[in-house]
């Protein structure tokens, strides 16, 4: 008799779950998505590219593969074009179905969980009220329910009211719900505090709550600390997760640079701000020590960043990622014929390194100052 795969909550109760990383941004950089539209039609048009990125995250230590369904609604797909504005005949249901099949296919290669990724509606749709929004969420959820994903993940919701509406709908599917918002320490887009957002998400039915995207690890961890405090004060036992942006997103004290979208370099000149693997090692350790047990990345988090999380937490997880040599990636530098590489074969060298970060201060020497 086949052994049943452990679910999300069981894995979290036992230790760390490593998430995956960037999909829509990475697919655009690789030539399989369109900037501006940011839609996942590649699931149908370029399935091998989607399959390969899933496989790279899995090989580098991801325990979860999210379906590539970000912004997948018929409303959003209306913006997709081929060549010079020749609209393709694509539907959200068709893309979502293909996305689940691709994620499940690759997940079976390494025992990973498949998360059905649920996206927010547009501002126009939100203005039409709760029933309209929840019907839109149910359209996304139908495919996930029919195809049997392991859990549901809401992400990129910047309004806690919409988050509550989505969670209330997601729990109807009968699988665990994880939910994240792109929150700075100041709160959601309407000024609701981070602590209150966390409490409201948990009370709506989410078993895992946290922060994703828009802000870098340093800012995201500050928000997570506020979430943790709010949940504790409310007497709620809810797992925490964090999947931040893979870039250093602001310079201290420059208000207009608080989000990635406000940066002049977004989205085509962000490389100088990209996190190094060492940054991600530090992020993973700080997140773990803060009590976060679901740790991954969002836009800008490449497979090698996920590898850094998995290597940093190898002792806690009881294993290295499949791609890592024995002892960790730095050990393999001993294979080099270049003599000065030998001093780099220990973690202390990398731990003490201070690489260029794209910001005035190192991201992990201190949290960002309060407003």
Higher pLDDT, 89 or 179: 179
Indicate if the pLDDT at residue 255 is higher than 50: no
* Secondary structure element (H or E) that encloses residue 117, with its range: strand 113-118
pLDDT per position as a tens digit, 187-202: 998 889 999 999 999 9
The total number of structural domains that make up the chain? 1
Higher pLDDT, 97 or 255: 97
Q: Which domain holds residue 100?
A: 16-324
Q: What is the CATH number of the domain that holds 43?
A: 3.20.20.330
Higher pLDDT, 87 or 144: 144
Answer whether residue 58 is part of any domain. Answer: yes
Answer whether residue 335 is part of any domain. Answer: no
Contacts of 165 (CB under 8 A, 6+ apart): 130, 133, 134, 137
Answer whether residue 144 is part of any domain. Answer: yes
pLDDT per position as a tens digit, 18-59: 999 999 999 999 999 988 888 899 999 999 999 999 999 999
Instruction: Record the pTM.
Output: 0.91
Write phi, then psi, for 261 (nearest 5 degrees). Answer: -65, -25
Q: Which of the four pLDDT bands, split at 50, 70 and 90, describes residue 75?
A: confident
Instruction: Give percent above pLDDT 90 in the chain.
Output: 65
Answer whether residue 356 is part of any domain. Answer: no
Contacts of 303 (CB under 8 A, 6+ apart): 21, 53, 56, 57, 59, 60
CA 215/CA 223 separation, integer angstroms: 10
CA 16 to chain centre: 15
Answer whether residue 5 is part of any domain. Answer: no
Answer whether residue 89 is part of any domain. Answer: yes
CA 333 to chain centre: 30
Answer whether residue 102 is part of any domain. Answer: yes
Torsion of CA 115, 214, 53, 49, to 10 degrees: 110
Answer whether residue 329 is part of any domain. Answer: no
CA 159/CA 166 separation, integer angstroms: 11
């Amino acid at each position: 008799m086949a052994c049943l795969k452990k679910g999300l909550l069981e894995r979290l109760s036992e230790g760390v779950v490593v998430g995956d990383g960037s999909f829509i941004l990475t697919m655009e950089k690789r030539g399989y998505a369109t900037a501006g539209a940011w839609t996942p039609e590649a699931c149908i048009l370029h399935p091998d590219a989607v399959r390969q990125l899933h496989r790279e995250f899995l090989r580098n230590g991801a325990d979860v593969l999210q379906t590539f369904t970000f912004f997948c609604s018929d409303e959003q797909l209306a913006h997709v074009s081929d060549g010079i504005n020749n609209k393709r005949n694509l539907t959200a249901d068709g893309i979502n179905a293909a996305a689940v099949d691709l994620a499940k296919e690759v997940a079976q290669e390494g025992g990973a969980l498949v998360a059905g990724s649920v996206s927010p509606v547009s501002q126009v749709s939100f203005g039409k009220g709760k029933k309209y929004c929840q019907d839109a969420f149910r359209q996304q959820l139908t495919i996930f329910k029919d195809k049997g994903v392991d859990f549901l993940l809401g992400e990129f919701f910047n309004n806690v009211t919409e988050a509550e509406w989505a969670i209330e709908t997601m729990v109807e599917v009968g699988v665990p719900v994880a939910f994240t918002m792109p929150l700075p320490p100041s709160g959601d887009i309407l000024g609701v505090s981070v602590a209150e957002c966390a409490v409201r998400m948990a009370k709506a039915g989410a078993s895992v709550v946290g922060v994703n995207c828009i802000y870098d690890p340093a800012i995201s961890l500050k928000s997570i600390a506020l979430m943790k405090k709010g949940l504790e004060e409310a007497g709620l036992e809810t797992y925490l997760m964090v999947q931040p942006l893979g870039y250093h997103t602001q310079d201290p004290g420059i208000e207009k640079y608080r989000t990635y979208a406000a940066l002049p370099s977004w989205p085509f000149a962000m490389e100088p701000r990209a996190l190094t693997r060492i940054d991600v090692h530090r992020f993973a350790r700080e997140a773990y020590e803060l009590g976060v047990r679901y740790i991954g990345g969002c836009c800008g988090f490449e497979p090698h960043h996920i590898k850094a999380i998995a290597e940093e937490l190898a002792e806690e997880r009881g294993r290295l990622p499949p791609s890592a040599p024995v002892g960790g990636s730095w050990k393999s530098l001993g294979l080099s014929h270049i003599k000065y590489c030998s001093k780099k074969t220990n973690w202390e060298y990398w731990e003490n390194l201070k690489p260029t970060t794209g910001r005035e201060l190192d991201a992990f020497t201190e949290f960002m100052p309060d407003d």
